[in-house]
Amino acid sequence: MSASKPYAGRDTGSRVDPFAAARLKLTFLYLAIITAIVVVLSSFLYEFHAHDVSSLEHRRSVARLSEDGRGDERAGFGEYVERLGRTIVLADIVTVVVGGALSWLLAAQTLRPIKESVEGEQRFFANAAHDLRTPLAVMRTEAEVALRSRDPDGEAARKVIASSLEEIQRMAEMVEQMLSLAQTGGARRVDRTAFRQLDIAELAREVTARMARRAEDRGVRLRVEAAEPSRVSGDRFSLERCLSNVLENAVCYTPAGGSVSVSVQRRGGRVLLRVTDTGIGISAEDLPHVVEPFYRGSRARGVHEGGAGLGLTIARAAMDEHRGTLEIESRPGEGTTISLGFPAA
């Protein structure tokens, strides 16, 4: 029995790559279209030139009134038509060969965005399943231990229930983030006419104040530097969620004794909001991928209280809605700075 080929982390039981098969079919389709066009045009070209040359030779023969000359000219006409046929056939063969190569390349370019989209969805679901499976495994293990233990006072049961509630809350937040991502990731059409002007500095102070208790519990200093009003046009809920996710990441990945600062500055026609932490940082190989759904870098995976990896994805989607920018600068062990750029209102 032949071994099956794993496809995107799963065993499909087949060696056939669906995208390779699709590329081959698309190539044949393109080539068939090219061949049909070439044959039709070549037939028309051959008939047109043959008829044109035949008429010209006939007029010359009549004018000369020479029987020998007429025979020579008919022979010359036959040779010309034969050469014309061979030339057209050769040109057709070259055109079909070149067209086949171009069709193969064009098929790859046509299928590339579809392939990337499918692979992205597969990674998304694989990572989502992994992150949802972890809290379920924790709850199951704790419940099994509680069932096997002798606890006349019910203390172990209460601990299991409390721990289970924490894991349930974590999964609920994850599902909520996934729904938000589905809305901001393309299913939702942005109505910019409904945007309102708001002070992003004031919003930053409000979100920071709500995050202060959590930062204090973790031993992280949290401060905001936004002296002057900086107005932007946008959706308050979307921007609030964006900033909350960025701050949540900064506080989560900053160890006790570290700090997180939020600054708002106006530079010409832009408003720049920066969140800077002294946390664990992001490695160079992880940096290009941290905005992908469910992606958690090698250093972030070591943080027990880390999130599901959707915060920055949602933040990027919110910035896209507002025609803004999200830039990340980071050094492992030194910290991270996330810059949100908005068009000033």
Helix (H) or strand (E) holding 331: strand 325-331
Res 12: pLDDT: 40
Q: In what order do the strands lie in the sheet with 221-225?
A: 221-225, 259-267, 270-277, 335-343, 325-331
Any idea which residue has 């496809």 for tokens? 7
Question: What are 39's two structure tokens?
Answer: 């044959």
User: Which of 103, 122, 141 is the C-terminal boundary of a domain?
Assistant: 122
- Judge if 203 and 274 occupy the same domain: yes
Residue among 106, 174, 135 nearest 311 (CA): 174
Most confident range, picked from 6-10, 74-78, 129-133, 261-265: 261-265
**Domain identity same for 102 and 131:** no
Regarding whether 133 and 107 lie in a shared domain, the answer is: no
Say if strands 221-225 and 259-267 run parallel, antiparallel, or are unpaired: parallel
Which residues lie below 8 Å from residue 149, measured CB to CB, with a gap of 6+?
A: 156
Q: What range defines the domain where residue 69 resides?
A: 6-122
Q: 320 with 338, same domain?
A: yes
> Does residue 278 form part of some domain?
yes
Residues 178 and 201 both lie in one domain:
no
- Tell me whether residue 288 is in a domain: yes
From residue 168, alpha-carbon distances to 45, 137, 157, 182, 329 in Å are 74, 12, 16, 21, 33
Judge if 152 and 215 occupy the same domain.
no
Between 46 and 134, the more confident residue is 46
Residue 200, Cβ density class (10 Å: 0-12 exposed, 13-18 middle, ≥19 buried): buried
pLDDT digits (tens, 9 = 90+) for 311-321: 788 888 889 88
Distance CA(339)–CA(246), nearest Å, equals: 10
Does one domain contain both 336 and 199? yes
Q: Give me the pLDDT at residue 60, please.
A: 58
Residue 56 corresponds to which tokens in the numbers above?
Answer: 């010209």
Q: What is the pLDDT of residues 295-306, one digit of tens each?
A: 766 555 555 455
Residue 1 falls inside a structural domain = no
For residue 132, the tally of other CB atoms under 10 A from its CB is 16
Structural domain total, the chain = 3
The CATH number of residue 212's host domain is 3.30.565.10
pTM of the model: 0.54
CA distance 181 to 187: 9
Decide which of 122, 143, 169 is a domain's last residue: 122
pLDDT at 246 over 80: yes
Residues 161 and 258 in one domain: no
- Sign, CA dihedral 243-304-216-224, equals negative
3-state secondary structure of 325: strand
Burial of 341 (0-12, 13-18, 19+ CB in 10 A): middle
74-101 pLDDT per residue, tens: 555 667 667 777 787 888 888 888 888 8
Out of 170, 187, 204, a domain closes at 187
